[in-house]
């Protein structure tokens, strides 16, 4: 499996900045795949943003 070190991120498990790799995406996202993991401890994270009109994000403005 080929991986690329693509960024330095804060790792909550290591409590420091660490190198995060992005595995080859099996879902076809390519470089836009939101899955990353810390190469030191293996913490897996999903880095994604939702559009304001995404129905998966609840509208809390009416509360």
Per-residue model confidence as pLDDT tens digits over 3-58? 565 688 889 999 999 998 888 888 887 777 888 889 999 998 887 665 555 555 56
Of 1 and 29, which is predicted with more confidence?
29
Query: Tell me, what's the pLDDT at 9?
Result: 86
Report the pLDDT value the prediction gives residue 39, as an integer from 0 to 100: 92
End-to-end distance of the chain based on CA atoms, in angstroms?
Answer: 47
Q: Give the structural domain span for 26.
A: 1-63
Burial class (CB in 10 A: 0-12, 13-18, 19+), 39: middle
Q: Helix, strand, coil % (nearest 5) of the chain?
A: 5, 40, 55
pLDDT the model gives residue 15: 93
pTM: 0.60
Total domains present in the chain: 1
């Amino acid at each position: 499996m080929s991986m690329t070190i693509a960024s330095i991120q804060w790792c909550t498990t290591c409590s420091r900045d660490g190198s995060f790799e992005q595995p080859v995406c099996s879902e076809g996202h390519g470089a836009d795949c939101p899955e990353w993991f810390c190469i030191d401890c293996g913490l897996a994270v999903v880095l994604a943003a939702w559009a304001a009109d995404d129905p998966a994000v609840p509208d809390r403005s009416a509360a």
